[in-house]
Amino acid sequence: MLKLHLDRLFRIAERRKLFAPIRRAGVVDFGLWEPGADVDLETLTSRSAKGLFFPQSEDLMVFQMRGKAIEVEPAAVPDDMFVLFGVRACDARSFAILDRVFLEGPVDTWYQARRSAGTVVALGCPGPLAESCFCPVFGIDLAEPEGDARAWVLDGELYLKAMTEKGEALLKELDGEEVDDNALDAAKADARAKMAQNPLADLDLTGLDGDHMMEMFNAPEWKALSKACLGCGACTYVCPTCQCYDIRDFDTGSGIQRFRCWDSCMFSDFTLMAHGNPRRTQLERFRQRFMHKLSYFPANNDGIYACVGCGRCVGKCPMHVNIAKVIRALGGKHI
């Protein structure tokens, strides 16, 4: 394990792009680090780091008419090397979930390129960053985050441990002091103990899985749970694991620009077809979102849930309708 002063980390920006949690106008989000940036390592970012690998909007190709022929010009595949620092354990786990969607048959070229170019330095939490945090419910250890390298900040010092070849290469660029791996044991134990006291730490997932799909689907609780939902989609846009997108064509006047952008299963025009929408009521759309997170995805992905307990949807929903309430209402019923 390497120990160094936190300021030394920012020297990485001299060689490649460095993204970190930065406070701007009172909001903390991942942004490009520059000298003078207000780096905030004590607050959960408003949005996840998902957008660095799966942008909210990105160009795919341009169609040009050359006489009677159509020429297709694919968008350049991103290849700029970068380091993503300060990702919390919940968001770090979300990358593994997105990898299953975009890197397993067929491979998404743009997502793959960004994943290859990025080095993820995950930062351990000193405890829950908000009352809405519940990552341990999904087997995530807030003190031992996944990533190319793990990082901890203690008493103004940065501790780094490489977990992959990318992580080892990064640590070789940094000048630090080698310390014992057990130096942070007490701090990690304290972080876990604090998380165990969080209000949502006792959520029970029993019965919320692929084996009880139809019982969950037909549960009468959906009517009351979905009644307040506005269908605004805020929960999907702050979610680290939502991966739905739409593909649109735009006439630029000199060609057709094809791009993709995030979409939401909570919208009434999601997957709209000629005959209409297969889920015509807000209840059906609400149920679809949480069935996917807690039943459909684990049924097709070795029991892995499509939620990481970051709690962002808990804090952002204007009607206080969220996955924690769904788990409270439906979990623990099939013991």
- Counted domains in the chain: 2
Where helices occur in the chain by DSSP H, the ranges are: 6-9, 89-102, 109-117, 165-172, 185-196, 213-217, 221-226, 234-238, 282-291, 297-300, 312-316, 323-330
238 with 317, same domain: the answer is: yes
Task: Look up the domain containing 50 and give its range.
Answer: 1-199
The per-residue pLDDT for range 176-234, each reduced to its tens digit, is: 888 888 889 999 999 999 999 999 999 999 999 999 999 999 999 999 999 999 989 99
77 with 214, same domain: the answer is: no
Residue where one domain finishes, among candidates 175, 199, 223: 199
Grade residue 335 by pLDDT with cuts at 50, 70 and 90.
very low
- Report how far residue 166's alpha carbon sits from residue 156's, in angstroms, rounded to the nearest whole number: 25
208 with 171, same domain: the answer is: no
- The whole-model pTM stands at 0.91
Residue where one domain finishes, among candidates 144, 168, 199: 199
Q: Is the pLDDT of residue 136 over 50?
A: yes
Determine the average pLDDT of the residues in 285-310.
Answer: 95
69 with 108, same domain: the answer is: yes
What dihedral do alpha carbons 28, 129, 122, 304 form, nearest 10°? -110
Task: Please report, rounded to a whole number, the percentage of residues in the chain having pLDDT higher than 90.
Answer: 77
